[in-house]
Amino acid sequence: MLTRVVVLMCLVAASSAAPQSFYGHRSVPQRSLHENFPSKSFSRPTLDDIEFRLYTRESRNDPDRLITGNLTLLEGSKFKGHLPLVVVTHGFSETADDSEWMNATKNALLDKTDTNVILTQWQELANGLRYDIAARNTFYVGIALADLLEFLENNTEGFNGSRVHLVGFSLGAQVSGVAGHKYPGVARITGLDPAGPLFEDGNPESRLDASDADLVDAIHTNAGYLLTGHFGYNDPVGHLDFYVNGGSSQYGCPPFIWDSIVEIITLSPGDIDACSHGRAHEYFLESILASEPTLGFQCSDYEKFEVGECFDTPRAAMGYNVTRDAKGVFYVDTQGEAPFFSRHVEVNLTIGEGESTYHGELTFHTVLPGRETKEVVMFSGWPSLHPGDLHKTTLTIPSRTTMDEVPFDVVFHKNYLLPLSPNHLNVESIVAVDTYTEQEYCLASKKVLQTGTTYSLKATLGSC
């Protein structure tokens, strides 16, 4: 198992180091595959390697197989051209056969609306330790999907791309991009942490980009580069790009080394669905099921978002019910475990009168019994703090909870390297706004925080 992963990582690393030759092959994938891998297991993909399984409300667990060109199968199926179609496609080393997230996503979609759902099964082409081959195969699978959509349009009443929503995870997002490029007019593509390795500088025809559908939205959860342990595409790919918890690693997931290497080794064979990467499809599923959306805030970078600089910017709901008329890069914070979705809280702290200067660090901690919660640093690095200064930060509370249900711990630490600096911080007020309800709360008013002491703050509705 270890060997398998190490081989994989080395192969991918080697391929990344030689993008020229790889992309040379990519433009003519048929030939390169055939020439380089004439053996049976690496022979040219055929349509038999790809299965499109149709589910409807009448056939939730009993799919019809659809094959491009086979009218008998289509006419015998439950496909309804007047209903929308959502096509969900898996990523590297996955299979639709026992994929819990695909099954759950299909179930949630059918619960939500009367729709056709197709699960793409391309296990044969996505498996093995050759990520580079799987990456190339996305091209075939995308073309096959485009052909199927054209076949459906040609042979059913009322169906065309305006009804189509493609949803793909990781390499499946790249499959969806190829399909949208080949079959123009697709209404929407949702990329769930689109795969990064080997696609970074690739031709936009062979990966997901904003030209592939009328609306392209993406959820980034493991954005970065493979050599730093990230499987997701780093840059924005669509009309709306949501970077969750900064976009590169997910709160509640093991840190980098565990996330990217050890987790892969210890998961079931062939499973490269590392924690942060896989969160993308968990968030999408939650967005179908949730009664309250989670909102992203347009921002130039995550640091600005975290210090509360982006609450006056356009907002957009993430996931299934995405805000269609918004555009840009949006930041979202979540809880570390399901249910993940949060409300974002804008916090303003005003330094009180008293000493002329304070130096120190202030941290907030949301207190949710039984759940690990994130510590948020309002200021650190031992800044010089003056009476009347305003400091801001972003906190989260779980969706559908209100500020007054959640206590907040706050701790001030003076700068111990400056022994003469005050042992306390005078706070004029701490004001918080639940940005979902727009309700204002007072967390503290004229409070003295002694250094090193944890204070539990209770929010009360209204201004301070």
Ligand X SMILES: *[C@@H]1O[C@H](CO)[C@@H](O)[C@H](O)[C@H]1NC(C)=O
Q: Judged by CB under 6 A, which stretch of 24-32, 157-165, 327-335, 454-462 contacts ligand X?
A: 157-165
Round to whole Å and give the CA distance between 277 and 9. Answer: 16
Three-class SS state of 7: helix
Written as six digits, the tokens of 11 are: 């192969």
- Of 158, 255, 452, 462, which one interacts with ligand X (CB under 6 A)? 158
Of the listed 99, 170, 260, 421, which one is catalytic?
170
Closest listed residue to residue 148, CA positions, set 178, 106, 105: 178
Min CB(133)–ligand X separation in Å: 26
Round to whole Å and give the CA distance between 38 and 56. Answer: 39
C-beta of 36 vs 154, nearer to ligand X: 154
Min CB(21)–ligand X separation in Å: 33
Of the listed 277, 281, 344, 391, which one is catalytic?
277
- Of 262, 326, 418, 433, which one interacts with ligand X (CB under 6 A)? 433
One symbol per residue from 275 to 314: x for binding ligand X (CB under 6 A), - otherwise; what is it? ------------------x---------------------
One symbol per residue from 341 to 380: x for binding ligand X (CB under 6 A), - otherwise; what is it? -----x-x--------------------------------
Catalytic residue list contains 277: yes
User: How far, CA to CA in Å, does 209 sit from each of 178, 213, 238, 240, 367?
Assistant: 9, 8, 6, 11, 40
Residue type, 16: S
Number of Cβ within a 10 Å radius of residue 438: 7
Q: Tell me how long the chain is.
A: 464
Q: Judged by CB under 6 A, which stretch of 16-24, 39-47, 148-156, 193-201 contacts ligand X?
A: 148-156
Q: Helices 2-17 & 19-27, crossing angle to 10 degrees?
A: 90
Is 209 a known ligand-binding residue?
A: yes
Round to whole Å and give the CA distance between 184 and 180. Answer: 6
Q: Is 70 in the site for ligand X (CB under 6 A)?
A: yes
Q: Is 323 in the site for ligand X (CB under 6 A)?
A: yes
One symbol per residue from 107 to 146: x for binding ligand X (CB under 6 A), - otherwise; what is it? x---------------------------------------
- Of 41, 154, 450, 454, which one interacts with ligand X (CB under 6 A)? 154
Round to whole Å and give the CA distance between 104 and 400. Answer: 23
Q: Is 61 in the site for ligand X (CB under 6 A)?
A: yes
Q: Is 189 in the site for ligand X (CB under 6 A)?
A: no
Written as six digits, the tokens of 384 are: 């010089």
Q: Is 187 in the site for ligand X (CB under 6 A)?
A: no
Catalytic residue list contains 193: yes
Closest listed residue to residue 294, CA positions, set 242, 252, 361: 242
C-beta of 10 vs 390, nearer to ligand X: 390
Min CB(257)–ligand X separation in Å: 32
Round to whole Å and give the CA distance between 12 and 10. Answer: 5
C-beta of 356 vs 438, nearer to ligand X: 438
Round to whole Å and give the CA distance between 16 and 237. Answer: 20
Catalytic residue list contains 41: no
C-beta of 19 vs 314, nearer to ligand X: 314
Question: Pairing between strand 164-169 and 85-89?
Answer: parallel
User: Angle 186-191-195 (CA atoms, 0-180°, nearest 5)?
Assistant: 130
Q: Is 435 in the site for ligand X (CB under 6 A)?
A: no
Round to whole Å and give the CA distance between 73 and 152. Answer: 12
Q: Is 156 in the site for ligand X (CB under 6 A)?
A: no
Q: Is 147 in the site for ligand X (CB under 6 A)?
A: yes
Q: Is 162 in the site for ligand X (CB under 6 A)?
A: yes
One symbol per residue from 24 to 43: x for binding ligand X (CB under 6 A), - otherwise; what is it? --------------------
For the chain, the 3-state helix, strand and coil shares in percent, each to the nearest 5, are 30, 30, 40
C-beta of 123 vs 222, nearer to ligand X: 123
Q: Judged by CB under 6 A, which stretch of 49-57, 62-70, 225-233, 410-418 contacts ligand X?
A: 62-70
Of the listed 193, 241, 333, 434, which one is catalytic?
193
Closest listed residue to residue 332, CA positions, set 251, 443, 430, 392: 251
Q: How many of the chain's residues bind ligand X (CB under 6 A)?
A: 27
Evaluate whether 273 touches 281 at the Cβ level (below 8 Å): no
- Of 150, 214, 309, 389, which one interacts with ligand X (CB under 6 A)? 150
Evaluate whether 408 touches 366 at the Cβ level (below 8 Å): yes
Round to whole Å and give the CA distance between 60 and 116. Answer: 10
Q: Is 76 in the site for ligand X (CB under 6 A)?
A: no
Three-class SS state of 120: strand
Closest listed residue to residue 345, CA positions, set 299, 286, 413, 404: 404
Round to whole Å and give the CA distance between 396 and 330. Answer: 16
Residues making up the binding site for Ca(2+): 207, 209, 212
Residues making up the binding site: 207, 209, 212
Write out the catalytic residue numbers: 170, 193, 277
Positions that interact with ligand X (CB under 6 A): 61, 67-68, 70, 72-73, 98, 103, 107, 147, 150-151, 154, 158, 160, 162, 185, 293, 317, 321, 323, 346, 348, 390, 431-433
